[in-house]
Chain A
């Protein structure tokens, strides 16, 4: 059974940026868009395992810093014509705090 866990204050994540959350040995990338939505997924590009948290966030996409694969933040799907998927992790904001369901 997974629960909502508070991971950070929203202002601890830079706009158009990300923070890395380590949970049970796994690294999770938590992104914040320009409009202050938050999205989370495993910090691993489906292409060659690059750390997505280090990529440039634009709109609702992040571009992997290693080889430039673009991943949709909402569904974790690679943008066509590339293929691949990172399982998204539910994220929400409540009272200025960011929660993940893990």
Chain B
């Protein structure tokens, strides 16, 4: 089949991102032609401010150079402005006579700066701040002249003013409203911002309407306000807003209403013509930030690639100012209004101001000045529209989602210098991350992880990396979308995949992928283990486990080490062992020359440095059950000696621990699950940092859930107090089963609890007695007759090929 012709008018970020997505989804479907009015290939427009400030060069901010177009077989017409769309003959015509036919057309014409309709606006020295050409003119003016006036005290105007100041000019910002950035900030925050910008040397004239730009010999010399006051100016930058560029679309008779009107699939009123980016009006709104534009591009590409499943439903945007040393964040409705409430923290001397606006117990808007660490979290709450009733008392203090260790105890990226280490796992400093974001044009957390490895191992520093991204990209930072696809192979979320498996009784991975139209033939290392887990947890005893879709540890039932050897941790119920077991372990260690024997944090013995082919022999000689110390499964139940021995013990915690472990071992879960039982509130088994922690008291047992002692220490929350050991089993089992059935793969109990809310879990485990008993029974059913994987492999020859090397 001959490829269809796809033409794009406009060569900016939104459009080129759309093409990248099309090429990913359907590389051979189209023959692509691009027209760009500017003489440059695709560059990162949001980095013009740092270029103006002299922190970066044009070369640094190129996203796709001309080679990229060539490599992807795209015909590129640079410096050619399209002036006509002939819809009847499906052809576009450029000013110089170049033309191209299309089967599908993308309009990505961007926006035009708004120029004040005042006398003198065409004088030499009056510029807008929109493209490389404008920046060149500003830099040139900064070399020759002294007085710069920026008209407009919004985001763009302040960034322009800051850049010109850095270039040595004397800069005055003129603004018509009573305070700066009035569309993003309330008065208090704006005054604080103004003060710090004044300390940097900028001057401000507020509530001033420009009457006329005055000039001499065709060149600007000053500004006269409507109140008669005059100020000198050698350069005037108009930064009073942008307008969608609809000129071409309108001339072709395509319906426009402020922007080019599109539906949720980014189609204009002419179904062959799509539009993306700043030129668009979607549901009456136009966007000027990158994040929504990229979302549009993704949807548009999905339809162009004939997949037909994406919808763009609008974006909530946030703002961050890209001026070094100033920390500012705003999102949503921060102005308040009927039915809203405000929580305010104001410390002008300390330079911190925070305002949160709530309505019906949901976050409506936020303004942060001086401390924007929690901006990303507030933004997430805002977009998700989640009830904050349960966390209202500490909402203002934010969510420290930065781990506790590995980055010098820092939780504010802004306070870190370039040489300070952000990612302690991979040795990545703040400066490396900033550089990678700027030089490689990165926009998302995934991009940064792929390029720098920062936060890609334990994830402890994810919050810091997000802060760095947000501060480098400003409002153009794209936070994690509200609903995230399971992985790059699909647009479906974890929830949707689970639901399909349950409702359509899907029983095998290929069946799931076919049913949900996976884009890759056999998935990837992210989705296959997830789907395998969802299948076995939804349909126990009916689904056959797929070893090739398990991480090596769960496939080989041992823990891979850095040198490719394995470790073996025999199961010792509740941490109790016997001389006979210890003797067997000692004999095995000597017989197989095990290089290291260590006691683990979970009260077990770890045999390290074992060759894979020795594993079945070792398991046979040990004759102990699998320790599951390698899997997303119940790891260990840690206990103290309890009332049997301890003079303070109130309950037999050891017995309780053994019972729990024997009841739930072999339990696969979304992530690892750790339990502990203490015999009294002194809590020697550290039950407060376990997924389920049980603490004996004189009158029974207290059950705590959602603790975590790892990357970020989380103290478990109280779930229930029960009287008997049977109830401990039932309540813990029910909780674990609901977690197994509903958490996303690789989500620990604490994160799942944060997502669904403790109230929901309490309702289902405590109040709904029927539901609790049913969930507990489902867990017992799932675990019934589950084989011991070590025994199968050591004595029954299961998966023999896994452990045998072919020697030539």
Contact = CB atoms under 8 A, between A and B. Distances in A.
Interface in A1-32: 5, 7-8, 12-17, 19-24, 27
Contacts of A66: 560, 562
A58 B522 CA distance: 6
A50 B553 CA distance: 14
B805 interface: yes
A87 interface: no
A54 B556 CA distance: 9
A55 B522 contact: no
A96 interface: no
Contacts of A24: 808
Interface in A44-83: 48-51, 54-59, 63, 65-68, 81
A97 interface: no
B807 A58 contact: no
Contact of A34 (B451, B522, B562, B805): B522
Given A56-B528, A68-B525, A21 B806 contact: yes
B808 A81 contact: no
B586 interface: no
Contacts of B520: 58-59
A88 B529 CA distance: 27
Nearest to A56: B525
B-side interface size class: 20 to 34
Given A51-B564, A63-B525, A66-B560, A17 B808 contact: no
A65 B552 contact: yes
B548 interface: yes
A55 B551 CA distance: 7
B808 A22 contact: yes
B522 A16 contact: yes
A54 B548 contact: no
Given A21-B806, A23-B808, A54 B560 contact: yes
A94 to B, nearest CB: 17
A96 to B, nearest CB: 16
A57 B564 contact: no
B522 to A, nearest CB: 5
B522 A54 contact: no
Main secondary structure of the interface of A (DSSP, over half): loop
A54 B805 CA distance: 12
A48 B548 contact: no
Contacts of A17: 547-548
A56 B560 contact: no
B562 A14 contact: no
B88 interface: no
B560 A19 contact: no
Contact of B522 (A51, A59, A81): A59
B432 to A, nearest CB: 14
Question: By CB atoms of chain A within 10 A, which of B520, B524, B529, B548 has the most?
Answer: B548
Interface in B518-540: 520-525, 528-529
Contact of B562 (A7, A15, A35, A48): A48
Given A65-B551, A66-B560, A22 B521 contact: no
Contacts of B521: 34-35, 59
A63 B529 CA distance: 13
A57 B548 contact: yes
A56 B549 contact: yes
Contacts of A63: 524-525
A5 to B, nearest CB: 6
Contacts of B522: 16, 34, 58-59
Of listed A27, A35, A48, A67, residue having the most chain B CB within 10 A: A67
Contacts of B647: none
Contacts of B451: 81
A58 B801 contact: no
B40 to A, nearest CB: 24
Interface in B350-379: none
Contacts of B548: 14-17, 56-57
B806 A65 contact: no
A7 B560 contact: no
Nearest to A12: B801
A5 B806 CA distance: 12
A58 B528 contact: yes
Contacts of A81: 440, 450-451
Interface in B527-582: 528-529, 547-549, 551-552, 556, 560, 562-564
B568 to A, nearest CB: 16
A27 B547 CA distance: 22
Contact of A54 (B547, B552, B806): B552
Q: Which of A50, A65, A68 has the most CB of B within 10 A?
A: A65
B562 A22 contact: no
A81 B450 CA distance: 7
Interface in B437-459: 440, 450-451, 456-457
A48 B548 CA distance: 23
A73 to B, nearest CB: 13
A50 B561 CA distance: 9
B808 A7 contact: yes
Contacts of A22: 805-808
Nearest to B549: A56
Nearest to A35: B521
B801 A14 contact: yes
Contacts of B525: 55-56, 58, 63, 68
A37 to B, nearest CB: 12
Contacts of A35: 521
Interface string B793-808: 0000000010001111
Interface string B490-533: 00000000000000000000000000000011111100110000
Given A8-B806, A81-B440, 10 more contacts: A14-B801, A15-B548, A17-B548, A19-B806, A34-B521, A51-B564, A56-B529, A59-B520, A65-B551, A68-B456
Interface of B: 440, 450-451, 456-457, 520-525, 528-529, 547-549, 551-552, 556, 560, 562-564, 801, 805-808
21 contacts: A7-B806, A8-B806, A14-B801, A17-B548, A20-B806, A21-B805, A21-B807, A21-B808, A22-B808, A49-B563, A51-B564, A54-B552, A54-B556, A55-B525, A56-B528, A56-B548, A65-B560, A66-B562, A67-B457, A68-B525, A81-B440
